[in-house]
Every structure is written in C-alpha cells, then in structure tokens.
Amino acid sequence: MNESQPETAGSGAGRVGRTSRDGRPHCPRSGVPSAGKGFRVGKLALTFDDGPDPRWTARLLDVLGDANARATFFPIASRAAACPGLIDRILAEGHEIGLHCDEHIRHSERSIECGRRDTARALRLLASVGVRPKLWRTPWGDTASWSAQVADENRLQIVGWTVDTHDWRGDTAGQMLRATKDDLRDGAIVLAHDGIGPGALRADARETIDYTARVAEHAVAAGLELGTPS
C-alpha cells in the first residue's frame, strides 16, 4: 500500500464495508478471495505486502534463510523496480513474488479500464526486474465485479489470507503471535508487511521480523512446512 495500513479482505464483488471505531478498515480473518487453491496439507504460507524495503526486506530474508523457510512477496511494483538487487535476492533464495499493484487503490473504487491499466503497468515494472507473477493479491484484498476477469486475462490467481497480523499497528511480536497462534495451522495464509507506508502506526518492520522468526519456530514444533500458496 501506501500501506502498512490494514488490508481488508474482499469477498466476491465490492469491498467489505465495515470499519473499526477509529475509522480504519476492519480486517476479517475469513472471506478472502481464493485463499490458496490447491494448498497442500501440512503447509503454512507467510506472505508479505508493500515492499520491498531495502532495510527491512533484507533483514526478513535473513530470518527466512536461517529458518530454511520460503515466503511469498506481493510488492508495490514501483518499489520492486527501484530495488532490482533485492528482487534478485528474493528469487535466488527460492521465494515467490506475486502481483500487488502499481497504485494502491481499492478495486471497488476503480473502473475495469483503470484496473487494467494499473495491472499492465505493474506487470511491466515487475517484468523489468525479471518477475512474471502467477499470484495476485489485490490492494487491501478488495475485489470488484471485474477483478476475476482481469486476473483471467493475465493468467493470475487471486490470493487472499486467513490470518491477519495487523502488524501495521505496531503491535509487538509477542502480541501478534498470541493473537494469531491458534490460526497458524494447515493451509493458513498469513498476511504481514515488509514495507512501511503513509498511515502506518509503526516506524519500522522490526516486530514483523521478530514475529516471522517466532512463527518459524512454531511451524517446526507443529510439523508444518513454511512454503508458498502456489
């Protein structure tokens, strides 16, 4: 996003209309679009949106490497194009990169023509750094009546999440783990953010990186593989 603000999962056409008391979008744990078609039993997926960030994505990759874990990144395309070395590292270390967006705007607030243009720009930028995505996480997980059509046109699978860390708020790693641990099970897809954007209530992604290390420990204890949704 211009993000680190919460992403709100869409369900079918249009956005989820609920908001929290402070006016921020409410983030349900279910109702996600296509949360992992064909997802293998015994597998837990960590996904990270809105990067890459030269500092925090690099540190996150260190943690994932130490845990021998694979993750999926959904970067903002202009940020990806500005960090070709980091994108090369993500791919070289066995992670997956999907499409997120070029401009972080809800699909329900766009026409199909605007959606097609943004998708085309984002795909061109990703291609410039060697990425040809198969997965698509729409901004805020929001979908419109045209989202599936544009996905089909570009041979993309829309992927949501089942576990939301709400890491944009600045919660500690311990708080996030306590809030999500019961949902870290077979087939779960975890939403977190390696990028920091306007509206975030945190100054950095330090706690997200700590949370990732703790989830990796949990996965080992639970006999789960940290892999990708595809």
52 upstream amide cis, omega within 30 of 0 = yes
Residue 38 per-residue DSSP state: T
Which residues form the catalytic set? Answer: 49, 193
Q: The tokens 């975030």 sit on which residue?
A: 200
β-strand pairing of 225-227 with 96-97: unpaired
**Is the CA virtual torsion 205, 207, 213, 214 positive or negative?**
negative
Q: How far apart are CA 13 and CA 107, in angstroms?
A: 9
- Residue 41: is it exposed, middle or buried by C-beta count within 10 angstroms (0-12/13-18/19+)? exposed
The per-residue b/e assignment along 198-215, b for 16 or more CB within 10 angstroms, e otherwise, is eebebeebebbbbbbbbb
